[in-house]
Amino acid sequence: MRARVRTYQVARESLESDLHRTPTLRELGAYLGVTVPEVMELDDIATASSYLIPLSMTGDGPSGLLVGSAVGPEEAAELVAMRDAVKAALLRITERQRQVLVLHFLEGFQKSEVADALGIDRSRVTQLIQQGLHNLRNELRAHESDHND
């Protein structure tokens, strides 16, 4: 899996250099010869593994963890907690809902493009977005109430 993630990262960097912008999931999939859902999985793994970087590897000082950009410790902890809550909530909705939400909201695909990428009707995409957002909100509310008790 590590080799596949590294291949994904190299492909992403190469396409960014060639296109002078961030490549779409579809472009990455075509470049790598994999499906959009497979690219999404590789991106999730690559993002998760690079989010927390040992400082000793960056040469920025004593060993520790660097989270995102320059934020204070409270903000960093809050961002990590929020990210973890959203990731956990995303894992509790259906795979199809998760794919549709990521393609539409994070990758900027139009509903018709999501439909084409996943081989489903546009009306089904709309339905999955509504269901996915509803389920995601419920999961986040449940998480929030569990941690506020």
Global pTM? 0.52
- Per-residue pLDDT at 87: 84
Whether 149 and 77 share a structural domain: yes
Same domain, 83 and 146: yes
Q: What is the domain-level CATH number for residue 52?
A: 1.10.10
- Cα separation values, 99 from 39, 49, 87, Å: 11, 20, 13
Q: How many domains does the chain have?
A: 2
Q: Are residues 79 and 44 in the same domain?
A: no
Q: For all residues of the chain together, what is the average pLDDT? A: 79
Question: What mean pLDDT do residues 79-94 have?
Answer: 84
Q: Which is higher by pLDDT, 146 or 47?
A: 146
Residues 6+ positions from 23 with CB-CB distance below 8 Å: 12, 15, 16, 31
| Tens-place pLDDT, residues 7-21 | 988 999 999 999 999
- Examine the fold and report which residue of 22, 48, 67 is the final residue of a domain before the chain moves on: 67
For residues 54 and 80, membership in a common domain is answered with no
According to DSSP H, which parts of the chain are helical? Answer: 2-19, 25-32, 36-51, 55-58, 73-91, 95-101, 111-118, 122-148
80 and 20, same structural domain? no
Q: Which helix (H) or strand (E) holds 52?
A: strand 52-54
| Percent of the chain topping pLDDT 70 | 75
Question: Is 67 strand, coil or helix?
Answer: strand
Determine what percent of the chain is predicted with pLDDT higher than 90.
40
Residue 121: per-residue pLDDT: 96
Q: What is the CATH number of the domain that holds 83?
A: 1.10.10.10
Please report the pLDDT score of residue 33 as a whole number.
Answer: 94
Average pLDDT over residues 42-57: 53
Question: Is residue 123 predicted with pLDDT exceeding 90?
Answer: yes
More confident residue, 129 or 56: 129
- Domain shared by 95 and 146, yes or no: yes
Model confidence at 80, pLDDT cuts 50, 70, 90, reads: confident
